Amino acid sequence: MTRAGPRAAVVGGGITGLVAAYRLRTELGPEAQITVVEESDRLGGTLRTVDLAGGPLDVGAEAFIGRRPEVPALMAELGIADQLVHPAGRRPLIYSAGALHPMPAGTLMGIPADAQSIAGLVDAATQQKIADEVETAFAWDPSIDVSVAQLVGSRFGEQVLHRSVDPLLGGVYSGLSDSIGVRAALPTLAAALDSGAPSLSSAVASALPPPSSEPVFGALRGGYGVLVDALIAAAGARIVLGARVESICGERKGWRVDPIGHVDLVVLAVPAPALSAILADTVPDAADAAAGIELASSVVVGMALPGDVELPDNSGVLVATDAGLSVKAFTLSSRKWSHLADRNSVLLRASLGRFGDEGPLGLSDAELVRTAVRDLRTVTGLDVTPTATVVQRWHGGLPQYAPGHLDRVAEIESAVRDVPGVAVAGAWSHGVGVPACVASATRAAAAVCEVAR
């Protein structure tokens, strides 16, 4: 009679949960009983690939940072390395003050290292303020964390925030400079400041990554759905959809996780508010810290246009927050990705919604498409009618890395570390991108497997 392997529950079926389930299968072997419990009716979380105009298009995350190794390594493990693609090499634009501007070079998340790097995007007075910053008295307290807006706005002015920094932060976090902390979002800048940089300009200059010819981003030819499907197959887990786990309860030699019963190991790969609720009775210190992490919602409108439409020869357009538009960014997908340029239709995505603004989520699909088309006309001059559209709402899709975020994460992880057989992971912890989620899931799976050995 074959001895049953350990029983493990992974709560959350997004990319973090699926990677955790796969890592558990790899570590615990074929006899392990692994269950993935997901509250919604589908797996993948904020990764979703849909069919638009006869082919796949991602309507959640579409790319990963190319300099991080986690996703290519995972794809190789899963036998889908041939899916790896890189952008066509075109640069993005910023729409501000009624015109399109090249994305400034020599900036860190839109923060300029000198006045010249942002010339043309801001007015002469702001450019002079940046130039004078190196001569202005500067004080930085290494013991505290502040919002990006507090730091950059006080040194460089509001135009830099609205026209350069906020558009980039909106793309990463669906947030704004006043909702994002320096230490979590810009660790290299914080390190330069902690080391005694005499000005913000000099700190940015020292924090800029070295020039590289390597691709900045990567993606999957068939969309992230290919990765999701490969993880599901490799994990070989039982899948329970439409089930909410509200708490876990310690039992003799294990945990009770409703609705699946007794297990030996638990990985909680859920957003911070859900994590807080699940741990409220079992690990209250972690629950309290997780409760302080807020979420932002957003909407993606995917559009197919007639094949003869000529998009700007750029990868996308970020929209300044003082531009008066509803759309915060356009991804010109057929320009950005060569494999999509081969399609018969011209593809693009419009993104709407930021932290604190739930308005776009309340619009109908038709209203969202009309808004996207109207703003596209304003930005590019194109007067077009989509041949096909898809609308994806992301309720609470991205955590906000507010000032003090690193302390909250440390409190959560410290409290859970003392609870045998339980580990936590997710985009709320050490990065919102897919590579960071893969790394987080890998650490969590390794931590609980120590108990099973």
Residue 376 DSSP label: H
- pLDDT at 3 (0 to 100): 56
Residue ranges in the chain whose pLDDT is less than 50: 1-2
* 180 and 147 Cβ atoms separated by less than 8 Å: yes
- For tokens 């020869």, what's the residue? 313
Q: Please state, in angstroms and rounded to a whole number, the distance separating the CA atoms of residues 10 and 324.
A: 43
Residue 116 DSSP label: G
Q: Which class for 210: exposed (0-12), middle (13-18), buried (19 or more C-beta within 10 A)?
A: exposed
Q: Please state, in angstroms and rounded to a whole number, the distance separating the CA atoms of residues 349 and 372.
A: 9
- pLDDT at 452 (0 to 100): 66
This prediction's pTM: 0.95
Q: What six digits make up the tokens of 165? A: 């920094």
What is the DSSP pairing of strand 388-399 with strand 107-108? unpaired
- pLDDT at 434 (0 to 100): 97
* 14 and 425 Cβ atoms separated by less than 8 Å: no
Determine how many CB atoms are found less than 10 A away from the CB of residue 414: 12
Q: Please state, in angstroms and rounded to a whole number, the distance separating the CA atoms of residues 337 and 359.
A: 30
Single-letter code of the amino acid located at 23: R
Q: Please state, in angstroms and rounded to a whole number, the distance separating the CA atoms of residues 179 and 169.
A: 10
- pLDDT at 453 (0 to 100): 63
Range 424-443 burial, b when 16+ CB lie within 10 A, else e: bbbbbbbbbbbbbbbbbbbb
Range 215-244 burial, b when 16+ CB lie within 10 A, else e: bebbbbebbbbbbbbbbbebbebeebeeee
Q: Is residue 9 classed as helix, strand or coil in its secondary structure?
A: strand
Q: Is residue 328 classed as helix, strand or coil in its secondary structure?
A: strand
Q: Please state, in angstroms and rounded to a whole number, the distance separating the CA atoms of residues 289 and 217.
A: 32
Q: Which residues pair with 56 in a beta bridge?
A: 51
